[in-house]
């Protein structure tokens, strides 16, 4: 569904993403892992058009049924989104004073033919409202449709952000630490949601909690200093000496608690590449 060839991003003398060849298949859940500063968020920003690469190409499989590939290397973020590549963010990115339903309805409208119709009554967009209700039911927030978003728990806001990313029926979903800061009570709901979404979307997941990565991923790709150092099944990656040295450091299943992502998020916030790039 999505692939890169020789993808590179340089910031002055720093190479944040280094000659990455990558492919994400349809209905695959691939996790992207690595230490802070490895280039994960920069890679996401390149895939979505937020950043332009120094070198290399990004291609998306054509949705017109011919099986061809479209070069999206130089597309702007809104163009990339309109082609079917949507993302969530490390930091919750929703409208706090709008209702839960309105957040998803606006996103659905933005990806449809009514994107520029700002002056019509919102109630007139029945198709988008119906889509929003379907998405809220899928992400487990149907009962919160009329709730102001600022009143939701942090975990529920994460669920909503996945719902917003689902609006417009994308082909590819990029989920950037969807469990960051989520309480241990909410993690299971987010995991179930990720697995459900991956049943009919290609999903690229950035996640620091290795228990989650090892349990949900079809494939794992490991970045270190901007370059891919390993990829394969969770079992193969977990046993790779290069990955153990660069990142996992003797990790064993169950050794990380499910709220470890809050610590990882704090680390990420202090890292200039992962937090800002």
Q: 216: domain CATH number? A: 3.40.50.300
Q: Which of 114, 148, 169 is the last residue of a domain?
A: 169
Q: How many domains does the chain have?
A: 2
> What is the domain extent for residue 127?
94-169
The whole-angstrom separation of Cα 149 and Cα 158 is 11
Sequential pLDDT tens for the chain (277 residues): 999 999 999 999 999 999 999 999 999 999 999 999 999 999 999 999 999 999 999 999 976 556 799 999 999 999 999 999 999 876 677 889 999 999 999 988 876 554 444 444 445 568 889 999 999 999 999 999 999 999 999 999 999 999 999 998 899 999 998 888 888 878 888 899 999 999 999 999 999 888 899 999 999 999 999 999 999 999 999 999 999 998 877 666 665 443 444 444 444 433 444 443 3
**CA distances in angstroms from 111 to 20, 67, 107, 140, 229, listed in the order given:** 29, 23, 7, 22, 36
pLDDT value for 179 = 86
Please tell me the number of Cα atoms within 13 Å of 202 on its side-chain side: 15
Q: Are 266 and 177 found together in one domain?
A: yes
In a domain, 235, yes or no: yes
Q: Are 65 and 180 found together in one domain?
A: yes
pLDDT value for 112 = 56
Sign of CA dihedral 180, 184, 186, 192: positive
The whole-angstrom separation of Cα 155 and Cα 9 is 33
Q: Are 193 and 263 found together in one domain?
A: yes
In a domain, 147, yes or no: yes
In a domain, 89, yes or no: no
The whole-angstrom separation of Cα 275 and Cα 247 is 18
pLDDT value for 162 = 92
Q: Which of 169, 190, 212 is the last residue of a domain?
A: 169
**CA distances in angstroms from 196 to 25, 193, 200, listed in the order given:** 16, 5, 8
Helix (H) or strand (E) holding 103: helix 100-110
Q: Are 200 and 187 found together in one domain?
A: yes
Q: Are 71 and 121 found together in one domain?
A: no
Q: Are 163 and 176 found together in one domain?
A: no
pLDDT value for 29 = 97
The three-state secondary structure class of 106 is helix
Q: CB of 157 within 8 A of CB of 149?
A: yes
Q: Which of 169, 188, 205 is the last residue of a domain?
A: 169
pLDDT value for 119 = 40
In a domain, 154, yes or no: yes
Q: Are 176 and 164 found together in one domain?
A: no
Q: Are 234 and 251 found together in one domain?
A: yes
Q: Are 75 and 199 found together in one domain?
A: yes
Q: Are 246 and 208 found together in one domain?
A: yes
Q: Are 143 and 112 found together in one domain?
A: yes
Q: Are 165 and 186 found together in one domain?
A: no
In a domain, 158, yes or no: yes
């Amino acid at each position: 569904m999505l692939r890169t060839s020789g993808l590179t991003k340089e910031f002055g003398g720093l190479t944040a993403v280094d000659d990455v060849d990558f492919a994400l298949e349809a209905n695959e859940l691939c996790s992207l892992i690595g230490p802070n500063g490895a280039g994960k968020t920069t890679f996401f920003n390149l895939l979505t058009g937020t950043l332009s690469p120094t070198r290399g190409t990004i291609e998306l499989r054509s949705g017109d049924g011919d099986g061809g590939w479209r070069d999206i290397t130089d597309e702007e973020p809104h163009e990339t989104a309109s082609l079917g590549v949507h993302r969530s963010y490390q930091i919750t990115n929703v409208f706090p004073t709008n209702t839960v339903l309105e957040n998803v309805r606006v996103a659905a409208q933005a990806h449809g033919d009514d994107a520029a119709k700002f002056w019509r009554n919102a109630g007139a967009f029945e198709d988008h409202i119906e889509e929003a209700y379907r998405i809220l039911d899928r992400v487990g927030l149907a009962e919160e449709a009329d709730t102001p978003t600022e009143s939701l728990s942090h975990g529920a806001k994460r669920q909503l952000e996945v719902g917003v990313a689902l609006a417009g029926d994308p082909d590819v979903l990029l989920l950037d630490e969807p469990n960051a800061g989520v309480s241990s009570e909410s993690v299971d709901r987010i995991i179930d949601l990720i697995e459900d979404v991956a049943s009919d979307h290609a999903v690229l997941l950035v996640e620091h909690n290795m228990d989650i990565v090892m349990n949900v991923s079809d494939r794992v790709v490991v970045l270190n200093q901007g370059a891919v150092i390993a990829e394969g099944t969770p079992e193969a990656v977990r046993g790779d000496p290069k990955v153990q040295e660069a990142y996992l450091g003797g990790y064993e299943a169950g050794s990380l608690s499910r709220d470890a992502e809050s610590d990882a998020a704090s680390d990420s916030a202090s890292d200039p590449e992962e937090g800002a790039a």
